[in-house]
Amino acid sequence: MIYQVPAHAREGAATPITSLERYRERAARAANDPDAFWLEVTKQRVAWRKSPSVGLEGDFHGIASGPLSWFADGELNVTESCLDRHLEARGDKTAILWEGDEPGQTRRLSYRELHAEVCKTANALAALGLQRGERAILYMGMVPEAAIAMLACARLGAIHSVVFGGFSAEALRERIRDCGAEIVITQDEGLRGGKRIPLKATTEQALEGCPSVRHVLVYKHTGADVPFVEGRDVWWHDVVDSASSSHEAVIVPAEHPLFILYTSGSTGHPKGVVHTSGGYLTYASYTHATVFDLREDDVFACVADVGWITGHSYIVYGPLANGATTLMFESVPTYPDAGRYWEMVERLGITIFYTAPTAIRALQAQGDEFVTRADRSSLRVLGTVGEPINPEAWIWYRDVVGEGRCAVVDTWWQTETGGIAISPIAPATPAKPGSATLPLPGIQASLRSPEGHALFGPARGLLCIDHPWPGQARTLWRDHERFVATYFSMVEGHYFTGDGCRRDEDGYYWITGRVDDVLNVAGHRMGTAEFEAALVSMDAIAEAAIVGYPHTIKGQGVYAYVVLQGEDEIDLTALNATCRTQIGAHARIDRVQVVPGLPKTRSGKVMRRILRKVAEGRGDELGDVSTLADPSVVEAIKGGFEGD
């Protein structure tokens, strides 16, 4: 589509967007000449050693022949943007503000201190043999050392892959093996809501059968007695504390991989999403500054975990590239009680707060008193991410938490997009509760029919992005074919997000959720296939099918249909014990129904549509089931529905 650029639109790509009119001008400029737009953005936001002269090379149509690139002739090290360049003007400014598991247990690292710690850690990792292009797996809790380790890898040109600390030993092993990590960085234990998370012990289990790992670097956090293998394992304090605090960053080309982050797909094993240096940093920095209306004295609090993309882009890379003060929060929203966030807002003077709708719904259910007893006058912008937000929760967030005076930004994006893609721009975009509103300038979103035809005006369809953007994933680790098949085969020449979406008469986007077999439970993305693989590994289970159903707090709940062998009953606790071992503590089934068989077509394909309808309590709306191999199982399934 060709947009008309108004003659007076002369401001730069980094000038704050202060009105909807300005937004439209900026979006039009970006769409008319993406290369010029993004080159301007990157030059303003990133400290390049060698400034790029080219924007995009390649396109979505040619993606099968290899990854596309942005700023290909540029050279940089992302940590120079995040650390070195701030030393002069912001050396004493707090870079990382850490709040531990116990309220008031804080640590502040200035940009100068963070720079020194990253240099020391980079020197220590180099001494352990970690080289440019090699992989380091991080399996840590929310301690500053997690961010330090990420940046230290980046400083060496090594590729980090952070695995969320809730994942099990088996899940961790799968990821270590997939990327062939040379080093694992972990800590003795994590802490969350007064509970100890045995990170090192789990790492130990995971390492059985991981010959690529030469060393394990262990940060001592709780001081617990943990397994320690002499020669292979190294204490952080033994090698980092004594290392030199100066380190010459390894300069890499723009497209050098920065990190791999595993995420769930609709089938098979987790996918190693690859993000590269120059484009990712440009995009994380641009979106962080633009969406949240970032100002120099902001205290930015994204309460996600660094194990997810939200933590990568909006705890570490975006805020640090922008010289902001970024919070790292070790605990949970309900520890010691449901007022923790707001007490923290008051005590730390948080100005921008970013969380998931699940947390908002859970806290809303606890009553307003937990919120109103804290002074929230420092807050200016409130954000949500990870799942659709229902209007009731959105309104509560705006009116009760934000006292009706804060901008609320519902930000839609994905591990693969690298950063926020559809979102209001605070406070310029007029909000509508429950809508992610409009694509950011530089993102060309479209809705399409299953046949791939573009839908215009108000419509419902598959959410696609039509033109590349710098923050997008480039490939899947050592599996470009799967990358192409997953994202570019549904609609040829367009990136398919996996989400369904509605666009209203004002052009606002309303994400309706995944249209593939991916669940979004409490903002966690999980593949039904991963659950099913765990269940059928149990002797008692012959077949299993997992679907989501609406859940008032978690957005989606997990509903399991199982066909047993040799038993009559199965205990939910036993199922969850298996999911916990094979996937992780966050993978929990809410309801289980034993069925005599799964509804299958004559060719053997499970008809999930039927299972979803029954799990949603809409078993009366099944429509035509005559194509099933055995239509009688449907009655049994409907009859055994596990509702409230």
Q: Give me the residues that bind ligand PRX (CB under 6 A), please.
A: 263, 309-310, 385-388, 410-415, 436, 497-499, 511, 513-514, 520, 525
Q: Closest approach of Cβ 309 to ligand PRX, in Å?
A: 5
Q: Closest approach of Cβ 390 to ligand PRX, in Å?
A: 11
In angstroms, the CA 292 to CA 212 distance is 41
Q: Whose Cβ is closer to ligand PRX: residue 257's or residue 418's?
A: 418
In angstroms, the CA 602 to CA 596 distance is 17
How is residue 306 written in tokens? 């660094």
Q: Whose Cβ is closer to ligand PRX: residue 71's or residue 531's?
A: 531
Rg (CA), the chain: 24
How is residue 22 written in tokens? 């300005």
Are 343 and 314 in contact, with CB atoms under 8 Å apart? Answer: no
What distances in angstroms separate CA 355 from CA 46, 328, 365, one per listed residue? 26, 13, 16
Q: Residue 281 pairs with which residues in a beta bridge? A: none
CA neighbor of 158 nearest in space, from 186, 187, 137: 137
Q: Closest approach of Cβ 358 to ligand PRX, in Å?
A: 11
Q: Closest approach of Cβ 496 to ligand PRX, in Å?
A: 11
Q: Whose Cβ is closer to ligand PRX: residue 490's or residue 628's?
A: 490
Are 217 and 124 in contact, with CB atoms under 8 Å apart? Answer: yes
DSSP-assigned letter for residue 44: H
Q: Closest approach of Cβ 594 to ligand PRX, in Å?
A: 30
Q: Whose Cβ is closer to ligand PRX: residue 277's or residue 310's?
A: 310
In angstroms, the CA 106 to CA 508 distance is 40
Q: Closest approach of Cβ 334 to ligand PRX, in Å?
A: 21
Q: Whose Cβ is closer to ligand PRX: residue 144's or residue 555's?
A: 555
CA neighbor of 282 nearest in space, from 442, 452, 426: 442
Q: Whose Cβ is closer to ligand PRX: residue 310's or residue 364's?
A: 310
Q: Whose Cβ is closer to ligand PRX: residue 79's or residue 444's?
A: 444
Q: Closest approach of Cβ 317 to ligand PRX, in Å?
A: 14
DSSP letters of 241-286?
TTS-S---PPPEETTSEEEEEEE--SSSSPEEEEEEHHHHHHHHHH
CA neighbor of 523 nearest in space, from 411, 380, 638: 411
Q: Whose Cβ is closer to ligand PRX: residue 247's or residue 482's?
A: 482
Q: Closest approach of Cβ 13 to ligand PRX, in Å?
A: 23
Q: Closest approach of Cβ 167 to ligand PRX, in Å?
A: 14
In angstroms, the CA 120 to CA 247 distance is 7
Q: Whose Cβ is closer to ligand PRX: residue 72's or residue 356's?
A: 356
Q: What residue has token string 């399996």?
A: 139
**Beta carbons within 10 angstroms of residue 338's beta carbon:** 18
DSSP letters of 151-171?
HHHHHHT-EEEE--TTB-HHH
Q: Whose Cβ is closer to ligand PRX: residue 356's or residue 615's?
A: 356
What distances in angstroms separate CA 449 from CA 230, 412, 445, 463, one per listed residue? 58, 20, 14, 9
How is residue 442 written in tokens? 């530089």
Q: Whose Cβ is closer to ligand PRX: residue 264's or residue 276's?
A: 264
Q: Closest approach of Cβ 641 to ligand PRX, in Å?
A: 26
Q: Closest approach of Cβ 360 to ligand PRX, in Å?
A: 12
Q: Which helix (H) or strand (E) element contains residue 109?
A: strand 106-110
In angstroms, the CA 122 to CA 249 distance is 9
Q: Whose Cβ is closer to ligand PRX: residue 34's or residue 386's?
A: 386
Helix axes 169-179, 572-582, angle to 10 degrees: 30
Q: Closest approach of Cβ 477 to ligand PRX, in Å?
A: 16
Query: How many Cα atoms occupy the beta-carbon half-sphere of 567 within 13 Å?
Result: 13
